[in-house]
A and B are shown apart, each in its own frame.
Chain A
Amino acid sequence: MDLPLSDFRKMEVAEFDTSKLLAHASKQAEERGYHRFPIVDVDSHHYETEAIDEILDYMDDPVIQQLARSARQATAKGPGVLSPGGVGYQDMGGRVMRYATRGMEKTPKDRHRDIHLAQRWMDAIGIDIAIMFPTPMLQLGLHPQVEVEVALARAYNRWLCERVLAHEPRIRSMLYLPFNDAEASYKMVQEFGATKGVVGFMVTSARYRPVHHNSYMKTYALLEEMNLPLAFHAGYNWNDQTVGMMNKFISVHALGFVFYNMVHLANWITNGLPERFPKLKVLWIESGLAWVPFMMQRFDNEYMMRSSEAPALKKLPSDYMRDMFFSTQPMEITDMGMLEQTFRMLKADTQLLYSSDYPHWDFDLPSTIYDLPFLDETAKRNILGGNAMRLFNLDMPVGKMAAAE
């Protein structure tokens, strides 16, 4: 494969091997002794479009299935009608080479390719259990046809449970909720909530549905009853009129991956959902951490003056946020003092969960947590795995029982 470079040059790449790419991560894992305690990654990804033909086998709607297969043939790549994803430059013009070359990686035929690939990066990085999410489907909430979101969500969830989760206990998932259809979301929890490997449900944040709408209440109640956490996974939408004012992907990503979660979190708190569902555990994924102190300060300040607009609240907005859970990546390690204060404000010892986001361009290794100078060993282990094991009620990974005593 030739990668196009600047000045009309090309770079020939003959192979791609995850273990080789991450050899330095393996060295970090060994040097820091990650084998001594469990590490849980609450946000990692695979590329479900690479298995789209298999996923379409699980789709009930024969017309949407036929449309998808037909469009796929016509374009020769991609999921066709199934993905509303627009322009994006996650690979930085090929600078992050694995986007272009990952298809060259060879895997044995004995297990699903996605299982092999996940095991490779998990072993290299030092991760025991990974909660896995799709990639292009992160923008499925923007699909103009609600019925397509529902059909693909159910097909994907069925496929993931049967082809991946059932065969590899180290891989878990919070299943995709087709949130643009409240009733379908409810049925999804009913159908898959007790399935092996399912540890919760996930809403892709880039969408335009208010989380406080009454139609969602029975879904939240069911999740609470089943003790299954609800996650909001960040995303961007360059076609959004406000986001569209930004002409650089750096801006779209930096703000877009926070913006929608800010909106959903604001609605979640000011409408008193934490009081209505006090045992429902809510997790905010892939917005980094710098937004958390901002939201806490901004909403506490306004709430003191405008509590009449949020009468359901019995404590400060920041207090509700400290009951929530946050994933680490992409963690803004630019000012260690600010980061330390951020950890303090969100009660990181119990509420913060390590996430890698691998294989995406801004992934974080466990060393981003383990090397922080202001954390003691107990806090490091809680953030890297202990908090997630408690939140998701996970079994101790094999071989880690003694280490965790």
Chain B
Amino acid sequence: MPDVFVAKFSEFPEGDRRIVSAGTTEIGVFHWAGQFYAYENLCLHQGGPACEGVMMHKVEDVLGADRTFQGQTFSKGEMHFVCPWHGYEYDVKTGECAADRKLKLKSFEVVRRGEDIYVVAD
């Protein structure tokens, strides 16, 4: 299958995402922290559009040196995208399910040719 055009680089800002089709396969493409990532838009849970939901940083507990609970915060480095059907969260940099890293969305290579961004479809 030929590579699938995603967007012009200048029209695909950091923090944005696109959904493209490669035949019958939907692919979510993310531009995050200077990199592009692409995953099949099919949640491993019940098949929801996993790549179409909100992007939220991982929530982390804050513990004191004495292991007491001090509150919660958002991760500085780990960003998740969330399936809008049921809330399954995926690591945008790996496609791994945040709740069980053994589960991983099918990933696709993203390439830049000049000003154009493409997904390399299987």
Contact = CB atoms under 8 A, between A and B. Distances in A.
Interface stretch (B44-52, B101-109, B110-118): B44-52
A259 to B, nearest CB: 22
A367 B46 contact: yes
A5 B46 contact: no
A193 to B, nearest CB: 36
B55 to A, nearest CB: 7
Given A96-B86, A361-B86, A5 B54 contact: yes
Contacts of A25: 47
A9 B15 contact: yes
Contacts of B47: 24-25, 28, 365, 367
Given A24-B42, A96-B86, A7 B49 contact: no
Contacts of B85: 21, 96, 363
Nearest to A3: B54
Contacts of A5: 54-56
Nearest to A330: B86
A163 interface: no
Contacts of A242: none
B20 interface: no
B67 to A, nearest CB: 17
Contacts of A93: 56
Contacts, number: 53
Interface in A360-380: 361-365, 367-368
A104 interface: no
B84 A96 contact: yes
B13 interface: no
Q: Which of A6, A28, A92, A363 has the most CB of B within 10 A?
A: A6
Contact of B54 (A11, A361, A364, A368): A11
B119 interface: no
Interface string B21-62: 000000000000000000000100011110001111100000
A333 to B, nearest CB: 9
Contact of B87 (A6, A21, A96, A367): A96
Contacts of B54: 3, 5, 11, 94-95, 97
Contact of A362 (B57, B84, B86): B86
A362 to B, nearest CB: 6
Nearest to B49: A24
A338 interface: no
B46 to A, nearest CB: 5
B82 interface: yes
Contacts of B87: 92, 95-96, 361
Nearest to B45: A333
A24 B48 contact: yes
Interface of A: 3, 5-7, 9, 11, 21, 23-25, 28, 92-98, 361-365, 367-368
16 contacts: A6-B56, A7-B57, A9-B15, A21-B49, A21-B85, A28-B47, A92-B82, A93-B56, A94-B54, A95-B54, A95-B82, A96-B87, A97-B53, A361-B87, A363-B86, A367-B47
Given A94-B54, A95-B54, A361-B86, 9 more contacts: A5-B54, A9-B15, A9-B55, A21-B85, A24-B47, A95-B89, A96-B85, A97-B84, A362-B86
